């Protein structure tokens, strides 16, 4: 049939970049088929892993879902196109795969492998942190920082594996990196300083994830310790970001390490209070403090004469670091003192000023 003969002649033409049209069609079909199979496999794996995770605490299923989700579309496309090119070259008397194609394939493969490994490291660190944040915050902080270092190392290793997989010698490359590393180190001194500061934070542990810090006029709870920065969550909700070097140079108040809280307050009593009641006030103050738990009484004294009040000073320690516990204790003390002073008819002082008016004499009036 003339139409079939004409179609056969078109398909058998070999002037399309050294291959006939039929070979190109088979290569495109192979690439499309591989792309569809890979995408379907990815979807099914994620669906299966999610269902397995919903049936129980199966961390392996969540890990699989996390790793598969980070499979990039460009990697699937690269695999599909490489498969099509391989089919095309098989049809062309087993010609070798061009070097450029091999380099592209190696870069895509090792880049995706680095993404898979990083996703697995990140998942493992997050899982450990969720289970041990309240038990061992120091280990969580150390593992978080080591995880960041490990993810950076994975990318360096992937970059070195690309030429190795192509049969290239990497010794000259490593030597060149060693020589050029001096110039790079001088250019990125601040980054290296933050990196070494993060190592110092991990080893010395001046704070860990979950600690409440006050740095200069900023305060918040530690959320993340990275290679370059540390993140705090402030009381008002915003995130505070400090470079590790600046943070270690600052004066850090770590309230999570507080074992007990010292409290000092004063009571102002009116000047017209009788002597006997003034002398009894320190004992009342001590009784009000010692009635609270967990508290250690330190002292209560008639401290000084104020401008418009007799000032009593009380010091005690709350044997718990939480600020809420301290405020509960102080509130209870204030209520006890309010009731006792009312029972004893002792008045709290408030700012007053007495003005004496002198009546002028008759001569002055004249």
Give the mean model confidence (pLDDT) for residues 171-175. 60
Q: Contact, 32 vs 80, CB < 8 A?
A: yes
Q: What angle do CA 280, 286, 289 make, to 5 degrees?
A: 140
Cα 264 from Cα 41, distance rounded (Å): 67
260 phi/psi in degrees, rounded to 5: -150, 160
Cα 240 from Cα 215, distance rounded (Å): 11
Residue 119 is predicted with a pLDDT of: 85
The string of pLDDT tens digits covering residues 318-355 is: 998 888 899 999 999 999 999 999 999 999 988 777 77
Cα 105 from Cα 161, distance rounded (Å): 12
Structural domains of the chain, ranges and CATH numbers in brackets: 2-159 (no CATH), 192-257 (2.30.30.60), 261-343 (3.30.70.100)
Residue 10 is predicted with a pLDDT of: 47
Cα 251 from Cα 35, distance rounded (Å): 57
- Predicted TM-score (pTM) of this structure: 0.51
The string of pLDDT tens digits covering residues 24-51 is: 677 778 778 888 888 888 888 878 877 7
The string of pLDDT tens digits covering residues 91-106 is: 555 455 566 777 777 8
Burial grade of 313 (CB within 10 A; 0-12, 13-18, 19 or more): middle
Q: Angle of helix 137-165 relative to helix 99-132, nearest 10 degrees?
A: 170
3 has a pLDDT exceeding 50: no
Cα 194 from Cα 189, distance rounded (Å): 9
Residue 97 is predicted with a pLDDT of: 59
Cα 221 from Cα 237, distance rounded (Å): 10
Cα 79 from Cα 33, distance rounded (Å): 11
The string of pLDDT tens digits covering residues 63-84 is: 777 788 888 888 888 888 877 7
* Token pair listed for 278: 């003034």
Q: What angle do CA 80, 81, 86 make, to 5 degrees?
A: 100
* Token pair listed for 38: 């890979």
Give the mean model confidence (pLDDT) for residues 279-283. 94
The alpha-carbon radius of gyration of the chain (Å, integer) is: 38
Dihedral-angle region of residue 210 (phi above 0 means left; psi in -120 to 50 means alpha; beta otherwise): left
Q: What share of the chain has pLDDT > 70, as a percent?
A: 76
Q: Which residue has the higher pLDDT, 2 or 58?
A: 58
Residue 91 is predicted with a pLDDT of: 54
Cα 346 from Cα 338, distance rounded (Å): 10
* Token pair listed for 44: 């099914």
Instruction: Single out the residue of 140, 139, 145, 125 nearest to residue 244, CA to CA.
Output: 145
Give the mean model confidence (pLDDT) for residues 116-128. 82
Q: Which residue has the higher pLDDT, 205 or 92?
A: 205
Q: Which residue has the higher pLDDT, 240 or 39?
A: 240
- Asked if the bond preceding 294 is cis, omega within 30° of 0, the reply is yes
**Least confident interval from 163-177, 272-286, 294-308, 337-351:** 163-177
Average predicted confidence (pLDDT) for the chain: 79
Those residues with Cβ within 8 angstroms of residue 159's Cβ, 6 or more apart along the chain or in another chain = 110
* 137: confidence class by pLDDT, cuts 50, 70, 90: low
DSSP E strands, the chain: 212-215, 218-225, 229-233, 239-243, 252-254, 261-269, 295-305, 310-318
3-state secondary structure of 351: coil
């Amino acid at each position: 049939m003339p139409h079939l003969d004409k179609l056969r002649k078109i398909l058998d033409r070999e002037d399309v970049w050294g291959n006939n049209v039929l070979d190109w069609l088979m290569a495109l079909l192979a690439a499309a088929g591989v792309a569809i199979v890979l995408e379907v496999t990815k979807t099914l794996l994620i669906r299966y892993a999610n269902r397995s995770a919903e049936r129980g605490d199966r961390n392996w299923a969540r890990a699989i879902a996390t790793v598969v989700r980070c499979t990039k579309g460009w990697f699937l496309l690269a695999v599909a196109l490489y498969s099509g090119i391989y089919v095309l070259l098989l049809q062309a008397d087993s010609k070798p795969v061009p070097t450029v194609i091999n380099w592209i394939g190696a870069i895509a493969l090792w880049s995706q492998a680095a993404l898979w490994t990083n996703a697995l490291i990140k998942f493992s660190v997050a899982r450990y942190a969720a289970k041990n944040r309240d038990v061992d915050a120091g280990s969580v902080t150390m593992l978080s920082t080591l995880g960041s270092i490990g993810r950076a190392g994975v990318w360096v290793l992937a970059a070195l594996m690309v030429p190795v997989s192509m049969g290239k010698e990497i010794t000259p490359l490593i030597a060149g990196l060693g020589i050029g590393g001096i110039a790079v180190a001088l250019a990125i001194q601040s980054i290296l300083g933050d990196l070494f500061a993060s190592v110092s934070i991990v080893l010395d542990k001046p704070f860990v994830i979950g600690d409440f810090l006050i740095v200069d006029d900023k305060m918040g709870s530690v959320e993340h310790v990275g290679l370059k920065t540390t993140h705090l969550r402030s009381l008002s909700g915003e995130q505070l970001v400090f470079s590790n070097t600046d943070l270690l140079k600052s004066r850090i108040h770590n309230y999570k390490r507080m074992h007990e809280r010292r409290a000092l307050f004063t009571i102002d009593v009116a000047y017209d209070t009788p002597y006997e009641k003034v002398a009894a006030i320190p004992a009342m103050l001590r009784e009000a403090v010692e009635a609270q738990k967990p508290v250690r009484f330190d002292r209560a004294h008639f401290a000084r004469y104020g401008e418009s009040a007799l000032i009593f000073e009380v010091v005690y320690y709350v044997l718990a670091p939480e600020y809420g516990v301290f405020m509960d204790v102080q509130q209870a003390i204030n209520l006890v003192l309010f009731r006792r002073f009312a029972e004893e008819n002792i008045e709290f002082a408030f700012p007053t000023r007495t003005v004496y008016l002198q009546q002028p004499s008759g001569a002055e009036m004249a």
